[in-house]
């Protein structure tokens, strides 16, 4: 859980920089909330992770695939 906290801190910082541009494609990053599901090997139950992802033209195909 400590790792997730760190990620959220990073996401919060990234969200604070609104309108930042990707240096590669020049597109303004769009923060989206992505929900992924993972099956825990220990408990055999599904858990859902919410992630904020910065989307630009470099990664939009991977994100929306």
**Residues forming the site for Zn ion (CB under 5 A):** 22, 24-25, 56, 58
Parallel, antiparallel, or unpaired: how do β-strands 46-55 and 30-39 relate?
Answer: antiparallel
Indicate the residue among 22 and 63 with the shorter CB distance to Zn ion. Answer: 22
Indicate the residue among 17 and 25 with the shorter CB distance to Zn ion. Answer: 25
Indicate the residue among 6 and 27 with the shorter CB distance to Zn ion. Answer: 27
Q: How far is the CB of 58 from Zn ion (least distance, A)?
A: 3
Number of Cβ atoms within 10 Å of the Cβ of 55: 19
Number of Cβ atoms within 10 Å of the Cβ of 58: 15
């Amino acid at each position: 859980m400590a790792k997730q906290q760190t990620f959220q801190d990073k996401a919060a910082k990234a969200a604070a920089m609104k309108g930042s541009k990707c240096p590669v494609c020049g597109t303004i990053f769009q923060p989206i909330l992505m929900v992924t599901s993972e099956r825990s090997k220990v408990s055999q139950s599904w858990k859902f992770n919410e992630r904020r992802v910065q989307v630009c033209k470099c990664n939009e195909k991977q994100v929306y695939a």
